[in-house]
Chains A and B, each alone.
Chain A
Amino acid sequence: MSPDDRKYSKEHEWVKMEDATQALAGITVYAQDQLGDIVYVDLPKTGATIRFMEKMGEVESVKAVSDLFSPITGEVTEVNERLLDHPELVNEDPLGEGWMMRVTVSDAAELDQLMSAEEYEAFLSGLS
């Protein structure tokens, strides 16, 4: 179910390397399903530095607020502006059009601390 072109965190974020330094990040299918209908996404600004596994923003559904933790250290080069008016994209396509930001990665070795798709699926089955 989770594609193996990216890595996953225990906080249910994903990060996908686009080339040697640029990565896309977002939340997983499981995360958006747990939240329910998402109505608001609060992301860091372009140019901000985010740090591995530190809080970088918030996502609000009708019923709940959840912190977003950065799956990687780096500088935010782009945020998905479409989410301001269409936060439902995170529900509809969390791994694609519901991406949250693009990051210039400072230390790609951090990826080794994240889970592969297979490991993440095993992690999820341990949660239920």
Chain B
Amino acid sequence: MTTSNLRTPLYSAHVALGARIVPFGGWDMPVQYTGILGEVAAVRTGTGLFDVSHMGRLYISGPRATEFLDWVLTGSVESLRVGRARYCMICNEKGGVIDDTIFYRLAEDRYLLIPNAGNRDTVVAWFQRWLDEKLPTGCEIEDRTEATALLALQGPAAAEAMDRLCSEPPSSMRPFSWQENQFQGTPVLLGRTGYTGEDGFEIVADADQAASLWQTLTEHGATPCGLGARDVLRLEAGLPLHGHEIDENTTPIEAGLERFVRFDKEYVGSDVLRGQHEKGVARKLIGLKMPGRSAPRAEYAILDQGQPVGRVTSGSYSPTLDTSIAMGYVGASRAEAGTMLEVDIRGRTAPVEVTPLPFYTRPRR
């Protein structure tokens, strides 16, 4: 290996568990431990544990932090209460998605923002540019990614497990809220958030506490899960992945993410997004279902009666639904649910049906 990828505080724990390690977003990350199918099933039926320390932890603070974030984020920052979290996009002037992110309001003037691993440097540079241009004082960015760890405990049994291990029972937390808690005496920040379509928590702790948290959670029945399972889970839940469904040349409106975009404030890209919201868009993100287990994969052509009309952005066999699923872009006229199209599977034309997203919604328990 000649690469110099970053490694999370749990890297040696992953290796000890026999994980297969792959480069992802500038980090050496576990793609699977025992197998993707078993790891997906653990999250859908019990608890799965992910090391997502490769994602960024950016602390934005200062008297003008709210004003600043309202200028660079598509969601409303000012209206978010302390104790809550929100998902939204960071867009460029053309409305293209630089990154999607969850941010937590830690205090009136302090926020934690979680960018994707591969976009962290881009986001920091983008923010710094706008700070220099618009708010040279009153707001600071602190990148604590490498000083902290981020774990995700996901699945229907996650809340019960956390209640046994934390001083305050996290099961009472609302979705998209956060709290400070003690995990067996270790101070942690818990968010009731995730990227799997299940209930669960994301846990921020100091980097040197990561190994003991990981060990405790696995001893309490959580199954170690890698990025392979995470990708299947988020696809089943219809959640976009930056670099696939969204990128700098794709807008949140095209990606069907309007509900995370405010049209009543001014921010970078807002003019374009408002225009698309009012006039409509030429292409749209769709879900596709294909019977069987052979899957449409990213970059495969979507066809209509043999003619190319779009492309797949992500696709996989869905073990939860036992069918193959994909997302992709087509012209808006073909985006209606129930529309029959085809996908070019390595030279073989296979019928697919446009399907509403998400493919999977967790049962109410």
B37: Cβ under 8 A from any A Cβ: yes
Contact with A along B97-115 (1 / 0, CB 8 A): 0000000000000000000
Question: Looking across the interface, which residue of chain B has its beta carbon closest to that of A67?
Answer: B346
Query: Could you tell me which residues of chain B, from 27 to 73, have a CB within 8 Å of some CB in chain A?
Result: 31-32, 35-38
Taking the closest CB of chain B, its distance from the CB of A41, in whole angstroms, is 9
* Structural contact, B294 and A62, CB atoms closer than 8 A: no
* Structural contact, A63 and B228, CB atoms closer than 8 A: yes
* Structural contact, A40 and B293, CB atoms closer than 8 A: yes
A58: Cβ under 8 A from any B Cβ: yes
Residues in B with CB closer than 8 Å to A39 are: 37, 293, 295, 317, 319
A65: Cβ under 8 A from any B Cβ: yes
Query: Could you tell me which residues of chain B, from 1 to 47, have a CB within 8 Å of some CB in chain A?
Result: 20, 31-32, 35-38
Decide yes or no: A58 and B317 within 8 Å by CB, A40-B293, A87-B293 being known contacts: no
Chain B interface, >50% SS class: mixed
Contact partner, A63, options B36, B38, B292, B319, Cβ 8 Å:
B36
* Structural contact, B297 and A65, CB atoms closer than 8 A: yes
Interface size class of A (residues with CB under 8 A): 10 to 19
B316: Cβ under 8 A from any A Cβ: yes
A36: Cβ under 8 A from any B Cβ: yes
Contact partner, B37, options A40, A42, A62, A65, Cβ 8 Å:
A62
Contact with B along A12-52 (1 / 0, CB 8 A): 00000000000000000000000011011010000000000
A58–B36 Cα gap in the complex (Å)? 19
Residues in B with CB closer than 8 Å to A121 are: none
Interface size class of B (residues with CB under 8 A): 10 to 19
Residues in A with CB closer than 8 Å to B32 are: 36
Residues in A with CB closer than 8 Å to B36 are: 36-37, 61-63
* Structural contact, A36 and B35, CB atoms closer than 8 A: yes
Taking the closest CB of chain B, its distance from the CB of A114, in whole angstroms, is 26
B232: Cβ under 8 A from any A Cβ: yes
Contact partner, A40, options B31, B294, B297, B346, Cβ 8 Å:
B294
* Structural contact, B294 and A37, CB atoms closer than 8 A: no
Query: Could you tell me which residues of chain B, from 91 to 142, have a CB within 8 Å of some CB in chain A?
Result: none
A60: Cβ under 8 A from any B Cβ: yes
Question: Looking across the interface, which residue of chain B has its beta carbon closest to that of A58?
Answer: B346
Taking the closest CB of chain A, its distance from the CB of B242, in whole angstroms, is 19
* Structural contact, B37 and A37, CB atoms closer than 8 A: yes
Question: Looking across the interface, which residue of chain A has its beta carbon closest to that of B32?
Answer: A36
Contact with B along A75-90 (1 / 0, CB 8 A): 0000000000001100
Decide yes or no: A62 and B346 within 8 Å by CB, A37-B35, A42-B294 being known contacts: no
Residues in A with CB closer than 8 Å to B292 are: 40
Contact partner, B31, options A58, A60, A63, A65, Cβ 8 Å:
A63
* Structural contact, B35 and A60, CB atoms closer than 8 A: no
Binding site for B on A (CB under 8 A): 36-37, 39-40, 42, 58, 60-63, 65, 87-88, 91
Task: Offer 12 A-B interface pairs, CB within 8 angstroms, sorted by A.
Answer: A36-B36, A39-B37, A39-B319, A42-B294, A60-B294, A60-B295, A60-B317, A62-B36, A62-B37, A62-B228, A63-B31, A91-B35
